[in-house]
Amino acid sequence: MNTWNDTNLSYFILTGLTDSGEVQLALSLLFLLIYLISELGNLGMITIIWLDHQLHTPMYFFLTQLSFLDLCYSNVITPKTLVNLLTSSKSISYLGCFTQLYFFVLLSATECFLLSSMAYDRYIAICNPLHYPVIMSPKLCHVLLTGSYMVGLLDSFVNNLCMSRLHFCNSNIIHHFFCDTSPILILSCNDTYFIEMMIMCLAGSTVLISLIIICVSYVCILSTILKISSTSGKQKAFSTCASHLLGVTIFYATIIFTYLKPKKSYSLGKDQVASVFYTIVIPMLNPLIYSLRNKEVKNAFIRVMQKKGGFRQIK
């Protein structure tokens, strides 16, 4: 049996989403539009929060970091996908494939704990508002952010270390539009049970721990909101969490459906659709969710525009 490993396998072939030229063109235009909206939306969110001092709070500090992660997501997956849709060449180098996988896992795991940090921030703001400025100090915010990245770095390192031990038989064709764990594991000719269990345990623990933190935070938040006597007070308290809760629901529902299952249950069609949503669409949705449903961001945008307009008039 002909076996390829990391010493003599120089590239993979990504089959993409479809073989139809017309569908590829339509998808490339759609993905390009989504990519541009995602880039502009996340850069706009970061810029508005940076320019408006009223948004220099822990909540918007974490939101800035979320926009940065989404910005990176778009640039890890979408550009290569667009190239593959618009050209006849579907190849990706061995190093390029595992680099893409490394950053994809890094960003995914980091976002899990960043979302849990945001949930903890909302818990303190609603359940312990008098001590909020003291508890959610800049030092704690940076510790939570650093911890999120450390988890992401650990997950991505272990994932790629496990994947790099694979040997590939007779085929270097990845039936997917980017380098992901499941379609690469399918190509392996050696027993992948241990590697698969290692990756699943690592990914599962990351998702489970972060999800437990989020759920506990929101149970406490809900309990506090229900104790508020006035309807307007309840609405105001819930409105500060609504955007984050929606973003969390979309993110975790997709990631659980796509990744927390055995390799044998991998379905090309269903997993590709979920992956498109997860890697390309969600980075566009997050800035829309957090801006369109947030009056403070809208007001900050107006203030920034007014300042810029006033500056031009003076000049």
CA distance linking residue 278 with residue 275, whole number of Å:
5
Other C-beta atoms closer than 10 Å to the C-beta of 40 total 12
Q: What is the mean pLDDT of residues 99-120?
A: 94
111: in domain: yes
CATH number where 49 lies: 1.20.1070.10
Query: In total, how many domains does the chain have?
Result: 1
More confident residue, 201 or 169: 201
CA distance linking residue 69 with residue 195, whole number of Å:
27
Residue 188's pLDDT band (cuts 50, 70, 90)? confident
Q: What is the mean pLDDT of residues 105-127?
A: 94
pLDDT of residue 75: 93
Check whether 262 has a pLDDT greater than 70: no
* Domain housing 210: 10-305
Check whether 236 has a pLDDT greater than 60: yes
More confident residue, 267 or 36: 36
Q: What is the pLDDT of residues 60-73, one digit of tens each?
A: 999 999 999 999 98
pLDDT of residue 170: 67
Q: What's the alpha-carbon Rg for the chain, to the nearest Å?
A: 22
5: in domain: no
Q: What is the mean pLDDT of residues 284-289?
A: 86
Residue 199's pLDDT band (cuts 50, 70, 90)? confident
* Inter-residue contact 191 to 33 (CB < 8 Å): no
Q: What is the mean pLDDT of residues 6-27?
A: 80
CA distance linking residue 173 with residue 13, whole number of Å:
5
155: in domain: yes
Alpha carbon separation from 123 to 136, 139, 155, 215, 228 (Å, rounded):
11, 18, 27, 11, 15
Check whether 8 has a pLDDT greater than 60: no
2: in domain: no
188: in domain: yes
Do strands 173-174 and 11-14 pair parallel, antiparallel, or not at all (unpaired)? parallel
More confident residue, 144 or 49: 144
Q: What is the mean pLDDT of residues 84-97?
A: 87
140: in domain: yes
Q: At what angle do helices 231-259 and 94-127 cross, to 10 degrees?
A: 160
CA distance linking residue 221 with residue 102, whole number of Å:
35
pLDDT of residue 6: 46
Give me the long-range contacts of 295-302 (CB less than 8 A, separation at least 24): 296/54, 296/55, 297/45, 297/48, 297/49, 297/55, 300/48, 300/49, 300/52, 300/54, 300/55, 301/48
Spatial strand order of the sheet with 91-93 comes to 91-93, 11-14, 173-174
pLDDT of residue 1: 44
3: in domain: no
Query: Which has the minimum average pLDDT: 65-69, 138-142, 308-312?
Result: 308-312
Residue 255's pLDDT band (cuts 50, 70, 90)? confident
313: in domain: no
More confident residue, 9 or 158: 158
Other C-beta atoms closer than 10 Å to the C-beta of 194 total 10
Question: What is the secondary structure of 186-208 as a DSSP string?
Answer: HHB-S--HHHHHHHHHHHHHHHH
Query: Which has the minimum average pLDDT: 38-47, 217-226, 272-281?
Result: 272-281
